[in-house]
Structure 1
């Protein structure tokens, strides 16, 4: 989970780098849960905070104002500070391509850049998210027939993107295909496409954010597939 902090004019970024974010008199630090909300508050710098690197987050953290209150933010939790890169949003679509097994579920994985992943890709200009997700999955696993069953929420992660810091939100969908022969999209660095039982896939996915998402949606997927 990423959080966002609009930097007040009086706060120097060098201070954040050395001391983190901490208010006087131990007042809580307020972090936005959405980049858009943070951008509406300021034209200045916005810091991207990795919630998993915070010392403590309340069990029910989001206030009515869409904020998260924390005691402080250590500098190590700030993702876009060394050097400072302004955050910008990136949208993507991806798929949990599944099929039923006797007393289990299989999900289709891709192997890219040395790790197992789920097929996904960036949204093209003017493209809706469902069309994006179907197109990207078809291209990456090399199939023609793919059916979208239902949305499965989103994941979010960030990464340096030149002089900017990309905040990527991936919209996930439950999908099914009758095809059983696949052709990895080699020019995207995909080397293998393979079915795996859900429990095996959730252990071998190479990204913690996606492993957490698999655990979150497992019940919904099993219910949808009956």
Structure 2
């Protein structure tokens, strides 16, 4: 989750805000939960990490109010990089076990992750998720079971600050042999029980997402009685 603050005309330059933060003693600071929700014709937009806020806002609604935004919570102001949306898709490739659920994991850049990647121009989000999973774990047969919402994270990308929203899908495959896509820096593909997968997941954003969707995944896999295969 990321939050966004449109710099108002009365505010100092973003480089100053990077040093002093943002405060509004009277009614708090209003932050927006998506780039799309921002008012039109805004100027510079600060990307805010909610984990570094003094009060953790809820993860719902179009906007939230916080008491202040400390400098450490501002991600893109020093130097200022304008936020740019990036759309991606990925998969929870699940396998029901007698008393548990297993997930397919990839090992990339020194951490365990879920297969995912950026949408190509003209490609649907669902098509992107399917393609990325097939390519990254080296399979053909893949069935989408249900949607699992989105995650959002950001990172510097040249002179912009990429804000990536990944759309997640629960998937199944009958295949049991996997080939990591080494062109994408993937070194291993492995299955792990849910608790093991969560414990080894390399990104806090994904661990939190796993907590939100665990019950949904378990229920969907229990009710997914049709044979897994490509659709």
With the length of structure 2 as denominator, give the TM-score of the two structures.
0.92
Which residue among 58, 65, 69 is the counterpart of 2:65? 69
Stretches of structure 1 lacking an aligned partner (at least 5 in a row):
none
Query: How far apart are 1:61 and its partner, in Å?
Result: 6.7
* CA deviation profile, 1:131-157 (whole Å, cap 9, x unmatched): 100000000000010000000000000
Stretches of structure 2 lacking an aligned partner (at least 5 in a row):
223-231
Which residue does 1:4 correspond to in 2?
4
Which residue does 2:153 correspond to in 1?
157
Which residue does 2:90 correspond to in 1?
94
Which residue does 1:46 correspond to in 2?
45
With the length of structure 1 as denominator, give the TM-score of the two structures.
0.94
Q: Is the 8 A contact 1:26 1:71 kept in 2?
A: no
Which residue does 1:16 correspond to in 2?
17
CA 1:127–1:61: 2 relative to 1, 3 Å: closer
2: CA distance, partners of 1:134 / 1:10: 46
Which residue does 2:126 correspond to in 1?
130
1: CA distance, partners of 2:78 / 2:158: 13
Indicate the SS of the match to 1:36: coil
Query: How far apart are 1:10 and its partner, in Å?
Result: 2.6
CA 1:62–1:120: 2 relative to 1, 3 Å: closer
Query: How far apart are 1:52 and its partner, in Å?
Result: 1.1
Query: How far apart are 1:100 and its partner, in Å?
Result: 1.1
Q: Is the 8 A contact 2:15 2:80 kept in 1?
A: no
1: CA distance, partners of 2:99 / 2:146: 21
Indicate the SS of the match to 1:69: strand
Which residue does 2:226 correspond to in 1?
none
2: CA distance, partners of 1:176 / 1:187: 24
Which residue does 1:219 correspond to in 2?
215
Q: Is the 8 A contact 1:2 1:51 kept in 2?
A: yes
* CA deviation profile, 1:161-195 (whole Å, cap 9, x unmatched): 10000000000000000000001000000000000
2: CA distance, partners of 1:150 / 1:61: 22
Which residue does 2:80 correspond to in 1?
84
* CA deviation profile, 1:77-131 (whole Å, cap 9, x unmatched): 0110111000000000000001111201110000000000000000011111111
Q: Whose helix proportion is higher, 1 or 2?
A: 1
2: CA distance, partners of 1:206 / 1:152: 19
